[in-house]
Amino acid sequence: MKLRHAVAVAIFCGLASGAGAAEIAPGDVKIVEGALDTPLTEKAGDPETGRAIFANRKQGNCLACHMVTDLLDTEQFHGEVGPALDGVADVYSVGELRARIVNPKSELPDTIMPSFYRAGGTNRSAEKFAGKTILSAQQVEDVVAYLQTLKE
């Protein structure tokens, strides 16, 4: 028993330090009842990095559709197509937020919001993006961490 425990601790410590950090591949993601409770990476999301991705017009581009009061002082032209996200962490669980970013169409089939962590099976993708995700697994976790800070 002690040897098995020591091996488990060694493996965990190695993964936590970033050595061999695993992530869930887009094709292995399982959204269940509108939630994805398992993080995509073993590294926790960073809210500040997520905030930057959220606001970046060449990465998440979330502001093209959503308004967030937290970003009004630094970012212009917030969208009004999607709902305002102030207080979103009070409405949705972490797993629900992750699922909405990974593949919002799993719960809202008619949404125009793109699936940020889905490779393939999408419409109107440019050939150079075929088989690629919009955001990496870690970027999704960072955005989820940022969204968790948006409480009333």
In this predicted structure, what is the pLDDT of residue 131? Answer: 78
Burial of 99 (0-12, 13-18, 19+ CB in 10 A): buried
Can you give the residue ranges of every domain in the chain? 24-147
pLDDT tens, 38-67? 999 999 999 999 999 999 999 889 999 999
Distance CA 28, CA 51 (A): 26
Query: pLDDT tens, position by position, for the chain (152 residues)?
Result: 343 333 333 333 333 434 445 899 999 999 999 999 999 999 999 999 999 999 999 988 999 999 999 999 999 889 999 999 999 999 999 999 999 999 999 999 999 999 999 876 666 566 767 778 999 999 999 999 999 999 98
Distance CA 139, CA 10 (A): 27
Class of domain 24-147: mainly alpha
Two structure tokens written together for 4: 């098995």
In this predicted structure, what is the pLDDT of residue 126? Answer: 65
> Residue 113 in contact with residue 83, Cβ under 8 Å?
no
In this predicted structure, what is the pLDDT of residue 21? Answer: 57
DSSP 3-state assignment of 15?
Answer: helix
